Structure 1
Amino acid sequence: MPARLTLPAELIDETIDHLWDDSKALRACSLTCRGWVPSSRLHLFRTIRIRNAEDCASLIALVNSAPVIARCIRKLTLSAEYDGLDGDRGREDDAWVNKAADLLTRLDRVHTLALSRLRWDALTPETKQAFSGAFKTVQTLLLFEVRFNASADVLGFLSEFPALDELYFHGVSWTHESYNPFPAQWQMGSPEQMQLSYLFLDPRSSPTLVTEWLLNHPVEQRLRTIQLCWREMEDVKALGDLLQVSGSTLERLQIEFPSGLSEEVLRRNQLSISNNTNLRSLHFGGLDVSAASSRTFVSNQLFPWVGVMLGQVRSPLLQEVVFELELPDVPDLQSFDWVRIDQELSREEFRGLMVRFYVNCTERHGGQALVDQVKQAIEDKLPGFRVRGLLRVSCI
């Protein structure tokens, strides 16, 4: 009788882990051997997306039949769809979310939560309470087109995540501005306080509300990555304060300002990255020449804040600087203060720096000839930097 071969449990787990995104193979593994079921099941149900009432009912039935599945769910997305229009905005088909309340009370290991196209104020108190229990373990929160009644509701919601590490804020809106939006429980000294390291704010959300919330938080937030689009032209003080308190913790900054933001506004609001002495990546986005050229500027050059911020860099660890351009044609490159940009990038402490330009050439009929012209023009405008660093230009 042949000897029975027994594989080490570690080898089995590693093999199944390798199949983490192959649902067909994982189902086959779970049917092959009873001992393979736990690892296979964890990967099969690790990421769950609920889009409508049918998805919700199916998952509830599945968890009722095998309660252990609830403990496998680590990434949960509730994404409603639009069902027509209310005036000039979409009407969310999100009534089914209330049916998930009982399910939510059983999810105690979710570390990533994504909510899309939901009206938080339309949920029942029971559903909100069920969500609150699931929030305790969430480390990454993604909000996309979620609506609230008032700004205080937004901050009260965000304050329910004691373990939050990453926040993505896309198109979040509210109907009313609260007189004092900051959560009342801050006065009570909660024993569990979040420590955020990653912040993403898109242009359709008010960056000021979230930024001031972080600045007023009982626990000082020292962000490692900030990625945002700031639209308040005359008021960037909150952002300047956030960069200041992030200090040497901040490693990656991706920033986009409205066209026409002047040097004077930056100086008046004391916006500076000189205190971010461990900055490794600096990314300038939204440099749309076609949109900016139609406006009136304090400076003769477009985007003067780019040169100002480059001059503020004091980090010896800077590895890359990225520029994202929207460019109608090659002559429009003259709109930038290339002398200042080249001067700042050519500093001796930046030797070996990688500088990347991602250029969206809006003139579609130029073909490869236009691409070559753009690359050559940018290279010619940075003569000092080219002898000290690495320059890459990509047309997308």
Structure 2
Amino acid sequence: MLPGLPVELHERILEHLQDERRTLRMCSLTCRAWVFFAQRHLFRKVRIERRPDSSAFLAVLQASTTGIADHVRELNLLGVLFTTNGLPPPELQHIIRLLVNLETLSIEAVDWPRAMDIMEYSRIASHSLSDAVAFLFPAPTLKALRLWNVHFESANDLLHLLVAFPSLSSVRLVNVSLNNVPERLAQSDGDAHRLRIEGLYVENYTTDGILVLFVDRLLKPPFETHLRRIEWDIDYRVGPYDAGAPVLLEAVRVSVGSLESCDVKFDDDTWLRDLDISRHRKLASLALGLRCTDGLFGATQVDKYTNLPEFLTTLNAPYLRRLQLSFTLLSTRPSCNHLPWQRMDDALVSLHKKHPSLALNFRVTVLMRPCERGDVIPLFVGRFPATVANSVPVSVDVCLIDCGDSTGHLTYVEQHMWSEPLQ
């Protein structure tokens, strides 16, 4: 420990090393006074991918004399850790029980156990299914649940998982599949009243829209859903667009008094004609992501996103503070030329005149092969001459991704990212 420096400065120094795991490990072995701060960053996020790793981590927690379990805030679990019928093994339950400050739980690639298996395994058949799930995953402090590629026999199985965590406020569902969604989800009003979701993140690329039906049920009585954050990313090439847009619009509508941020990525902008955020007093950030990569997966669609310029021109959002437009482009392909760039350019000028305090941001992701790399900024800026001429303050975040194969199976090679004003 450096003499003469207060402990608070040592803590601040180690905070700057939170992503340098090797350095943090060395610090924890160098100075006894640094052990607590180094371990706090080393064990804040834990990912377990193999069953031997879960046994080893449990042994570390049980042998620790420095309170390692208290530092864990996020736990990521892969499906291979679970039994063949989807149940968490005893050592995994023991790990979760020891993590008294756990805030985020991520589960990837698992077939969720049937209700009867959960009840039998938990041996508390006299209680509700939600209580049985809570017995398997004892995490009363959990605030965020993230599910990737998890399959449920029934939507009620997913519901009971959400209700099992009394402090849960944020749910991320990525490619979650369900066999069926009944008209009424909750088995009792008590289950509905125990669910208090404030952040909803839905991403889906593989199913036929049944996950959207589950979200739709959560927006109806007896549930009282008032969202603060919405992220919505559904690829309608693999599912019906009309089944998803009304649910998204309903989620925005029922959250009129609570919604603070909304991030939507879309292939069809028809839904913007019905989006009304004029009464959302707390909505400070709106992000709209445009997929402009038709040429990557098939024929280019002409006159795509014709509703977006109209939406920007007529946008009535007096409380909005930040608007982000995200573009995913193929820089050297004609696929980006079919967008209504001139109309969007004029719409941004009109929007700035109506809301001069609104912060505008472009996020441009460019997919290209190594031989096609060029200066992307001039290519992009050239599409907004009126915005530049009227000195509309727009910041631009650029991300270049070199792709070795652009036939639909992108091979990530390299990424470059920077920010600068549009000028």
Short-chain TM bin: 0.7 to 0.9
Q: Which amino acid aligns with 1:162?
A: P
Structure 2 distance, partners of 1:294, 1:210, is: 32
2:162 aligned residue: 158
Structure 2 distance, partners of 1:116, 1:294, is: 34
| TM-fit CA distance, 1:320 | 3.4
Structure 2 distance, partners of 1:24, 1:361, is: 33
Query: Where in structure 2 are the equivalents of 1:346-357 lying within 5 Å?
Result: 346-347=349-350, 348-351=353-356, 353-356=359-362
Structure 2 distance, partners of 1:116, 1:281, is: 29
Partner of 2:231, secondary structure, is strand
Q: Mean Cα displacement is larger for which, 41-50 or 111-120? A: 41-50
1:85 aligned residue: none
Structure 2 distance, partners of 1:150, 1:202, is: 17
1:233 aligned residue: 241
1:52 aligned residue: 50
| TM-fit CA distance, 1:49 | 1.4
Structure 1's 186 and 307: CA in aligned 2 closer, same or farther, altered over 3 A?
A: farther
2:417 aligned residue: none
Partner of 1:121, secondary structure, is coil
Contact 1:323/1:357 (<8 A) preserved: yes
| TM-fit CA distance, 1:251 | 4.0
Q: Which amino acid aligns with 2:41?
A: H
2:218 aligned residue: 213
Q: Which amino acid aligns with 1:186?
A: D
1:303 aligned residue: 305
2:63 aligned residue: 65
Contact 1:81/1:93 (<8 A) preserved: no
Structure 1's 334 and 31: CA in aligned 2 closer, same or farther, altered over 3 A?
A: closer
Contact 2:292/2:336 (<8 A) preserved: no
Picking from 253, 271, 294, the partner of 1:244 is: 253
Structure 1's 389 and 251: CA in aligned 2 closer, same or farther, altered over 3 A?
A: farther
Contact 1:307/1:340 (<8 A) preserved: yes
Q: Mean Cα displacement is larger for which, 226-235 or 51-60? A: 226-235
| TM-fit CA distance, 1:57 | 0.9
| TM-fit CA distance, 1:295 | 7.6
Query: Where in structure 2 are the equivalents of 1:112-123 lying within 5 Å?
Result: 112-121=104-113
Q: Which amino acid aligns with 1:303?
A: Y
2:418 aligned residue: none
Cα distance per residue 1:331-390 (max 9 Å; x no partner): 544422344323321221244753425153557654427x4773364134xx25641414
Contact 1:276/1:314 (<8 A) preserved: no
Q: Which amino acid aligns with 2:339?
A: F
Structure 1's 326 and 61: CA in aligned 2 closer, same or farther, altered over 3 A?
A: same
Q: Which amino acid aligns with 1:62?
A: V
Q: Mean Cα displacement is larger for which, 52-61 or 246-255? A: 246-255
Q: Does 1:342 align with 2:323?
A: no
| TM-fit CA distance, 1:98 | 5.0
Query: Where in structure 2 are the equivalents of 1:269-284 lying within 5 Å?
Result: 270-277=274-281, 278-284=283-289
Structure 1 distance, partners of 2:333, 2:381, is: 10
Structure 1 distance, partners of 2:96, 2:22, is: 27
Contact 2:226/2:258 (<8 A) preserved: no
Picking from 178, 202, 205, the partner of 1:203 is: 205
Partner of 1:146, secondary structure, is strand
2:127 aligned residue: none
Structure 2 distance, partners of 1:21, 1:137, is: 25
Cα distance per residue 1:276-310 (max 9 Å; x no partner): 453434322323342698488xxx72123323432
Contact 1:121/1:147 (<8 A) preserved: no
How high is the TM-score relative to the length of structure 2? 0.72
Structure 2 distance, partners of 1:142, 1:325, is: 25
Picking from 370, 374, 379, the partner of 1:368 is: 374
Structure 1 distance, partners of 2:30, 2:399, is: 50
Partner of 1:358, secondary structure, is strand
Structure 1's 332 and 33: CA in aligned 2 closer, same or farther, altered over 3 A?
A: closer
Paired residue total? 371
How high is the TM-score relative to the length of structure 1? 0.76
Contact 2:219/2:250 (<8 A) preserved: no
Structure 1's 14 and 184: CA in aligned 2 closer, same or farther, altered over 3 A?
A: same
Structure 2 distance, partners of 1:357, 1:7, is: 42
Structure 1's 292 and 318: CA in aligned 2 closer, same or farther, altered over 3 A?
A: farther
CA RMSD of aligned residues (A): 3.9
2:419 aligned residue: none
Contact 1:141/1:167 (<8 A) preserved: yes
Partner of 1:155, secondary structure, is helix
Partner of 2:94, secondary structure, is helix
2:74 aligned residue: 75
Partner of 1:314, secondary structure, is coil
Q: Does 1:358 align with 2:364?
A: yes
Contact 1:330/1:373 (<8 A) preserved: no
1:108 aligned residue: 100
Structure 2 distance, partners of 1:243, 1:29, is: 47
